[in-house]
Amino acid sequence: MVLKKIFGGGKPKARVESAEDDGELTIEDLIVLERYDEAESRLKARLKDQPDDLHLHLKLADVHTALGRREAAADGYVHVADEYGRDGFYDKGVALLNRALKMTPGEERLRLKMFALQSAKKLEFKREAASEGLRASRHGEKGAGNRVLTLQRQWHYLAPSALMQRLSADEIRRFFSAVEMIEVETGTTLVERGSKEPFMVLILSGILAAMLPRQDESATLLREFTVGDLLGEAATLERGTWPADLRVVEDARLLKLDRAGVQHAMAGSSDPRSFLDNLRLDRNDRELAGMVARLKKKPL
């Protein structure tokens, strides 16, 4: 038994394609000989047994191209491109969509698919930059792995936010290296109206409510904020005050950026002004201040 194992004895392994055992031409041989109809038949037969084999789907699309079956070829390339996109191989997917467009140049849906893949690639690149930033956080390495895991779980919700769309990958890396990830329970007042505490918060999960206190100790709800919303630019960047109380109405996980963090993020940046401008552009504090001003003109 030992000799059989060493020298390859025992039960023979199954072959990949029985046609090769019988001395028949392989699919590759048929394609080289331009016997495309036979190659197509063989490929379709193989795909019945191996429907998830992308290599076979791609080879069949090439055969359809050679046969002049442009729509069938395009469908094959799109199918493989979609699978590549799901697996994160964005460049390969875009290349195949380009081939599909050559087959059917008027198909606008293919251009939209290509744009979606290119956008997904950019967001994935930004996600990696955000993770790098958290790992190199100025708040220390303790718990960095958990913070990165939390970010990756929430990235799908955070990525479409206006701030993440505006920041470059380098700015995202800098931002996440400067923030502190904190958890705040429901019912907590994070900051009070009129406070000059210089920090900003980007909501990673949960809900915050901006409240205007009234003289009878009740409060008027101005607006609620959730994932991706950025607050605190007035106190942090303009040395102003918080326009309203900020209360946690659903357990929240926040990325907190104080003034020292802003300085940390800008250190060594080739364009610090751009970074600051991007932090200002949500203007949620300004919107809240406007709402307060309008309410102040009316009896509360």
Looking at residue 156, its pLDDT comes to 86
Beta-bridged to residue 210, according to DSSP, are 223, 246
Which helix (H) or strand (E) covers residue 204, if one does?
Answer: strand 199-213
Residue 251 in domain: yes
How many angstroms separate the CA atoms of 35 and 67, rounded? 10
Rg from Cα positions in the chain: 29
How many angstroms separate the CA atoms of 273 and 96, rounded? 39
* Residues 125-147 pLDDT 10s: 899 999 999 988 877 666 678 88
CATH number where 98 lies: 1.25.40
Are 160 and 229 in contact by the 8 Å Cβ rule? The answer is: no
* Residues 7-20 pLDDT 10s: 344 433 333 444 44
Looking at residue 264, its pLDDT comes to 94
Pair of tokens at residue 61: 């699309």
Residue 10 in domain: no
Looking at residue 22, its pLDDT comes to 47
Looking at residue 40, its pLDDT comes to 94
Looking at residue 131, its pLDDT comes to 93
Looking at residue 151, its pLDDT comes to 92
CATH number where 176 lies: 2.60.120.10
What's the domain range around 100?
23-111
Are 103 and 74 in contact by the 8 Å Cβ rule? The answer is: yes
Residue 97 in domain: yes
Pair of tokens at residue 235: 């106190």
Are 162 and 281 in contact by the 8 Å Cβ rule? The answer is: yes
Q: Which residues of the chain have pLDDT under 70?
A: 1-23, 140-143, 298-300
Q: What are phi and psi of 26, to 5 degrees?
A: -80, 170
Same domain, 164 and 281: yes
Judged on CB neighbours under 10 Å (0-12, 13-18, 19+), 135 is middle
Tell me how far CA of residue 152 lies from CA of 7, 82, 251, in angstroms. 49, 22, 19
Same domain, 186 and 268: yes
What is the count of structural domains for the chain? 2
Residue 13 in domain: no
Last residue of a domain, one of 76, 111, 146: 111
* Residues 37-59 pLDDT 10s: 999 999 999 999 999 999 999 99
How many angstroms separate the CA atoms of 112 and 97, rounded? 10
Specify the pTM.
Answer: 0.68
Pair of tokens at residue 152: 């990756």
Same domain, 162 and 251: yes
Looking at residue 142, its pLDDT comes to 65
Residue 143 in domain: no
How many angstroms separate the CA atoms of 102 and 70, rounded? 9
Q: Give the rounded percent of residues in the chain with a pLDDT score beyond 90.
A: 69
Looking at residue 141, its pLDDT comes to 63
How many angstroms separate the CA atoms of 246 and 191, rounded? 5
Residue 242 in domain: yes
Last residue of a domain, one of 56, 89, 111: 111
